[in-house]
């Protein structure tokens, strides 16, 4: 069973059932004590790219947005125990050529980490992929607001959709989380884990 820890803001840690530790957009919260086998970065804003935060195992792999988009093409990666596909992420504050989201398949489940984005043209394609868990930003300042995130959640049609990245400088905002109302909406607070 893979354990997914929400660290707050847009930061996550996954412990795979093979023991490998993966960090996604390290920056916020706690839980950086375990050495990383893999670090994924969606873009280079300071609140997503603290790759120095967790200790690194020997051979730790770091996949950044510059690795995930090559010559305008979104890349695939197959580290041990998972499959990763880079996807579109962009808005007026995030250049399409410098930002990605990640689709991650692990334990037969498909997870969508949207990164910093608003509605993208690719989201309608994601609807056919039967996503189990989607994590969408909702701050309404640097990313889409809650109504647009709810629209995206309906387009994507994941079994469960978690609002994240709710307010600059905050790990979490319960009031905003409770405003996110779509089928399958799930509130995940910093420090809580999901079994994937």
CA distances, 103 to each of 29, 35, 55, 131, 151 (Å): 23, 23, 24, 9, 19
CA distance 91 to 55: 32
Is residue 20 within 8 A of residue 38, CB to CB? The reply is yes
63 — pLDDT class (breaks 50, 70, 90): very high
Report the alpha-carbon distance of residue 35 to residue 157 in Å, rounded.
Answer: 34
**Considering the entire predicted model, what is its pTM?**
0.97
- 181 within a domain of the structure (yes/no): yes
- Asked whether residue 192 is assigned to any structural domain, the reply reads no
Assigned domain for 193 exists: no
Q: Is the pLDDT of residue 168 over 90?
A: no
Q: Tell me how many domains the chain contains.
A: 1
Cβ-contact 86, 102 below 8 angstroms:
yes
pLDDT digits (tens, 9 = 90+) for 12-40: 999 999 999 999 999 999 999 999 999 99
Considering the domain boundaries, does residue 91 fall inside one? yes
Rounding to the nearest 10 degrees, give the CA dihedral for residues 188, 169, 39, 122.
70
- Location of structure tokens 């930003």: 137
On whether residue 196 sits in a domain, the answer given is no
pLDDT, tens digit, for every residue of 113-143?
999 999 999 999 999 899 999 999 999 999 9
- Find the CATH number of the domain harbouring 15: 3.60.15.10
């Amino acid at each position: 069973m893979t354990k997914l820890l929400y660290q707050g803001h847009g930061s996550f840690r996954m412990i795979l059932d093979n023991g490998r530790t993966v960090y996604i957009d390290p920056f916020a919260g706690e839980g950086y004590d375990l050495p990383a086998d893999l670090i994924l970065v969606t873009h280079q804003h300071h609140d997503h790219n603290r790759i120095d935060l967790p200790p690194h195992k020997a051979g730790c792999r770091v996949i950044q947005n510059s690795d995930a988009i090559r010559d305008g093409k979104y890349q695939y990666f197959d580290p041990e125990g998972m499959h990763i596909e880079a996807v579109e992420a962009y808005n007026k504050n995030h250049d399409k050529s410098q930002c990605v989201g990640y689709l991650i398949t692990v334990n037969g489940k498909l997870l969508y980490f949207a990164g910093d984005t608003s509605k993208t043209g690719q989201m309608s394609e994601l609807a056919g992929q039967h996503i189990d868990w989607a994590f969408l930003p909702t701050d309404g300042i640097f990313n889409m607001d809650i109504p647009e995130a709810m629209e995206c959640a309906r387009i994507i049609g994941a079994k469960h959709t978690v609002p994240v990245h709710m307010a600059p400088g905050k790990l979490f905002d319960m009031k905003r989380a409770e405003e996110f109302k779509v089928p399958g909406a799930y509130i995940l607070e910093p420090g809580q884990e999901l079994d994937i």
